[in-house]
Amino acid sequence: METVTRSIRELIASGIKLLPALITALIIIMLTRYAAELTQKVATRVGNRALRSQSLKILLSKTSFIATWVFGIILACVIAFPGLRLGDVVATLGLGSVAIGFAFQDIFKNFLAGILLLVQEPFRIGDQIIVNDYEGTVVEINIRTTEIVTYQGEKVLLPNSTVFTSAVQVRTALGRRRTDLGVGVDYNTPLSQAKDILQHTLEQVEGVLSDPEPEIDLVAFGDSSIDFIVRYWTVPQQKMVRRIQTQVILAIKQAFDRADINIPYPIRTLYFYDQDKYNDYLPDDQVNGYDNRNKQDQKLSQQR
């Protein structure tokens, strides 16, 4: 009992000795939270003044926030455990990083991919992109995911590693976008007249860019029509592309109606025949039998 009592007293005494250090470490952790938020705000202001790229501003803000937390946690550990030196902490982190790396490899992979996306800027916040089967507007690039909003108003979170390693089609990268529209006219239509009407019509539609100029190409002799391809340029945003395409179609239809130019319907000719009579694989005697029966049927019908 004396040994147990002595051990308990020693534990209590050592706990009392560590209590100030533990309280100090806890205070440091609490202060680190406010320091990280303050550092993030300062970094955001500096980034807004010094950097033009929105992605680099986000990277600077998030990096300063994470770095402040890492420094605060390491400082709290050193104070809470006086015998623990900074070199020991770094060595422990080095040994533990291997196990942590295997356990959280997907998280680290997305983290590094997010940093590379923010630094290289293959696309920016507000760009409209296509990644695999997803298409929409980039809203935010986080440390782990890239957030896009589809044209149907749905939010999609794509892992940064998937975005970084996949083919990304950036539709708003160059400031303009071409639309190819197929138009068919009747075979009796004067083609030069139809081409001039299409050219003039495109020049009158608001939203169609004059540079580059619209192009009108004849592409094929169709089954029921001679086919044109109308190529024109607009601003790249999907909403405007759809609106201008609607205006172009309406304007072309109205112009063709005024000029009495028909946009023909598909025409099909159907032939009906006796498949047994024209079967190439029947023997000659069977074919003759079919012919004799047909002649007999014709005679009976004449007699009647």
pLDDT in tens, 204-240: 999 999 888 999 999 988 888 899 999 999 999 999 9
| Residues 74 and 140 reside in one and the same domain | no
For residue 241, the model assigns a pLDDT of 92
Task: Look at residue 181 and tell me if it is in a domain.
Answer: yes
| pLDDT greater at residue 40 or residue 186 | 186
| Residues 181 and 164 reside in one and the same domain | no
State the average pLDDT over residues 160-184: 90
What is the CATH number for 184? 3.30.70.100
| Residues 145 and 67 reside in one and the same domain | no
| Residues 197 and 213 reside in one and the same domain | yes
Task: Look at residue 279 and tell me if it is in a domain.
Answer: no
Among residues 103, 138, 158, which one ends one of the domains?
A: 103
| Residues 6 and 90 reside in one and the same domain | yes
Residue 271 CB-half CA count within 13 A: 3
| Of 161-170, 220-229, 295-304, minimum mean pLDDT range | 295-304
For residue 235, the model assigns a pLDDT of 92
Task: Look at residue 264 and tell me if it is in a domain.
Answer: no
State the average pLDDT over residues 42-58: 73
What is the CATH number for 160? 2.30.30.60
| Residues 147 and 223 reside in one and the same domain | no
Residue type, 21: A
Measure Cα distances from 171 to 123, 215, 236, 239 in Å.
10, 21, 6, 12
Average pLDDT score over the chain: 78
Q: Is the pLDDT reported for residue 242 higher than 60?
A: yes
| Residues 46 and 92 reside in one and the same domain | yes
| Residues 183 and 233 reside in one and the same domain | yes
State the CB neighbour count (10 A cutoff) for residue 191.
Answer: 12
Name, in order, each residue with C-beta under 8 angstroms of 138's C-beta and a sequence gap of 6 or more: 123, 124, 125, 126, 127, 128, 129, 146, 147, 148
| Of 163-167, 211-215, 224-228, 264-268, minimum mean pLDDT range | 264-268
Task: Look at residue 225 and tell me if it is in a domain.
Answer: yes
What is the CATH number for 51? 1.10.287
For residue 244, the model assigns a pLDDT of 94
Task: Look at residue 43 and tell me if it is in a domain.
Answer: yes
Q: Is the pLDDT reported for residue 5 higher than 90?
A: no
Instruction: Transcribe 38-85 into DSSP letters.
Output: HHHHHHHHHHHHH---HHHHHHHHHHHHHHHHHHHHHHHHHHHSTT--
State the average pLDDT over residues 34-59: 76
Task: Look at residue 293 and tell me if it is in a domain.
Answer: no
State the average pLDDT over residues 70-98: 64
Q: What is the pLDDT of residues 133-143, one digit of tens each?
A: 899 999 888 77
Task: Look at residue 95 and tell me if it is in a domain.
Answer: yes
Are the CB atoms for 252 and 228 separated by under 8 Å?
A: no
| Residues 186 and 204 reside in one and the same domain | yes
Q: Is the pLDDT reported for residue 177 higher than 50?
A: yes
Report yes or no on whether pTM surpasses 0.85. no
For residue 300, the model assigns a pLDDT of 47
What total of structural domains would you count in the chain? 3
| Residues 96 and 21 reside in one and the same domain | yes
Identify the domain containing residue 33 by its residue range: 2-103
| Of 40-44, 74-78, 82-86, 217-221, minimum mean pLDDT range | 82-86
- Percent of the chain past pLDDT 90, that is, above it, reads 26
State the average pLDDT over residues 46-70: 74
Among residues 240, 258, 276, which one ends one of the domains?
A: 258
| pLDDT greater at residue 65 or residue 156 | 156
| Residues 197 and 247 reside in one and the same domain | yes
Task: Look at residue 280 and tell me if it is in a domain.
Answer: no
Residue type, 141: I
| Residues 48 and 93 reside in one and the same domain | yes
β partners of residue 145: 159
| Dihedral-angle region of residue 175 (phi above 0 means left; psi in -120 to 50 means alpha; beta otherwise) | left
